[in-house]
Structure 1
Amino acid sequence: MDAMTKMWVSLIGIGLMALAAVIITLARLKTKGFLKLVLSTAAFLLLVVGFLCGLISII
């Protein structure tokens, strides 16, 4: 993998983790019940995918 591809994968990972932080903050402050569970699960999945992108860009 060349340096430019690693850079883009890393930036996508950072963006996904930032999006996950925004979603989990909104889910905790503004929602209740089932919607809160759905948003929290989506945020967790984005966090995991962002972490994997970051890990791939290091390797």
Structure 2
Amino acid sequence: MSPAMLKMWISISAMGFMFISIIMIYFSRYKFKNSVIKFITALIAYVLMIFSGIIIFFVVLSGPTT
């Protein structure tokens, strides 16, 4: 697998993490009534969002591939 294709798959996985975190934040704010479940889902969602932001940051700063 070429480095460019690997970077593409890493970026897509980071976008998937962002999508999952958006869904989890929605459920944590509007659907769940139990405060413990709300906290756990929000915590996981924010960790995924931070992790995906770091991944995208490093992919962008690593520069173009040849």
TM-score past 0.5 threshold: yes
**Counterpart-to-counterpart distance in 2, 1:9 and 1:55:** 11
Corresponding residue for residue 29 of structure 1: 30
Which of structures 1 and 2 has the bigger CA Rg? 2
List alignment gaps of at least 5 residues for structure 2.
none
- Considering only aligned residues, what root-mean-square deviation do their CA atoms show, in Å? 1.4
* Shift in Å, 1:5: 1.0
Alpha-carbon distance between aligned partners in 1 of 2:51 and 2:28, rounded to the nearest angstrom = 19
Identity %: 25
What residue ranges of structure 1 are gaps of 5+ in the alignment?
Answer: none
Query: Larger RCO: Structure 1 or Structure 2 (Cα < 8 Å, ≥ 6 residues apart)?
Result: 1
Q: Which has the higher helix share?
A: 1
